Amino acid sequence: MQTAVVTFTLAELAEQHGLTLRGDPHTVISGVCALLPGQAGKLSFCGESRLRSQLSLTQAAAVILAAREADQYDGNALIAAEPALAFAKIAQGFDRSKEFTAGIDSRAAVAASAVLGEGCGIGPGAVIEADAVIGAGSYIGPNCVVRRGARIGARSRLEANVYIGPDCELGARALVLPGAVVGGRGFGLVPSASGWIEMPQLGRVIVGDDVEIGAQTSIDRGALDDTVIEDGVKLDNQIQIAHNCRIGAHTAIAACVGIAGSTRIGSRCMIGGATVIAGHITIADNVMLLGMAMVTKSIAVAGVYGSGLPAMPARDWRKQVARVRRLDRVDERLQSIEETLRLTPQTGEGNGEQDDF
C-alpha cells in the first residue's frame, strides 16, 4: 500500500515552529531537500554565509534563512535564528521511516509474563522473554531479543537484531539501531594457574530518556554496580563502552570510540571518532576530545583536548617518526649538558618525569 504524501503550507510551518514567513504563505511543501540543486515543492536551508551564493541557483520552493541572508534572497523564505535547528525540526515532520502497525507478528515469541503497553509493534522473529516490560507505543524490530526482566520505556524503537540483556533498562523514546548490544557480559576475568576464570557480571545497564545508540555499538553490563547512560546521550555506530562506565547527560560520542571500564564521562561532552579512553578515570563536564585522541589520565578542566599527529605527506611523517625515536638520545645529551653547566632541570623536563595530560 502506497504511503500518503505529507504536505504543509509555508504558513503552517511558520506557525508550528515560530518562524517568520516571507513570501507566499500558500506555497505547499511536500518534503525537504539540499540547497543545490534543490527540488520543486520542497524546503531547504542555508545555514552558513559561505553558501549564500547558492541561493540564486536553488530550485527549492522555499529556504530557511538567518535574517542576515534573508535580504539577499527574493524567493519564499522562513527566517530563523538557527536555520539548521529549524530545518531539523521541520524535517522530522516528513520522516515516515519510524511508522509501524501496532500488533505482534505471528513469527515473534512473547512470553506470557511479559507486559506490552498499548500500541506496541513486535516484528517477525523478535523474542520478548519472561517479565520483560515494553512501554506503550514502542516498536521492537525483526529478530530483536529482549531478555528476562528488561524494561523499555514508552515510544522507544529497537531496530533489527538488537539485544537487550537481562534486567537492563532503557528510558522513554530510546532509539537503538541495528546490531546494538545493551547489557552483554562485561570483560571480567581473573587469572589462575589453569587459565582465565570468568568473573560474573551481576550489574545491569541503565539507560536514560531520549538516548540514541548506534548500529553495532556495545554497552557492557556492570560487574557489581550498573553501567549508566544518562538522559539525552547520543552514541554513534561501533562504540565500545565497558562495564561500570557512566556517561553524563547530553554527551555525544562519535563512531569507533573505545571506553575502558569504570570510567566516568561528564555531561555535555563531545568525543571525536576513534578516540580511546583508559579505565578508572574521570572526565569533567563540557570536555571536547578531538578525533583519535588517546586519554590515559583524568581531565578535570573543561576545554578542547587532542593527541596524535594529523595526516601529512608520508615523507614528512617519516621524518617526524624519526625525530620521535631520537628523543631518548636527545634527552640523555640534554641531561649531560645540564650536569656539566650545573643547571637544575625544570620539573617534567629532561629528567624522565611525565607531565599530566
Give me the active site residues, please: 243
* Amino acid at residue number 74: D
Q: How far apart are CA 177 and CA 156, in angstroms?
A: 11
The full length of the chain comes to 357
The closest alpha carbon to 150, from 138, 80, 160, belongs to 138
Is there a contact between 262 and 279 (Cβ–Cβ < 8 Å)?
yes
Quick one: 294 exposed, middle or buried, by C-beta within 10 A (0-12, 13-18, 19+)?
A: middle
HSE value, Cβ hemisphere, 13 Å, CA-based, for 63: 28
Q: Tell me the β-bridge partners of 305.
A: 289
Is there a contact between 156 and 170 (Cβ–Cβ < 8 Å)?
yes
Q: How far apart are CA 74 and CA 202, in angstroms?
A: 63
Q: How far apart are CA 246 and CA 256, in angstroms?
A: 18
**Owner of C-alpha cell 529497537:** 158
Is there a contact between 100 and 121 (Cβ–Cβ < 8 Å)?
yes
* Amino acid at residue number 224: L
CA dihedral 188, 271, 237, 202 (to 10 degrees): 20
Q: How far apart are CA 275 and CA 253, in angstroms?
A: 9
Neighbours of 115 (CB within 10 A): 13
Residue 227 belongs to what H/E stretch? strand 227-229
Q: How far apart are CA 166 and CA 204, in angstroms?
A: 8
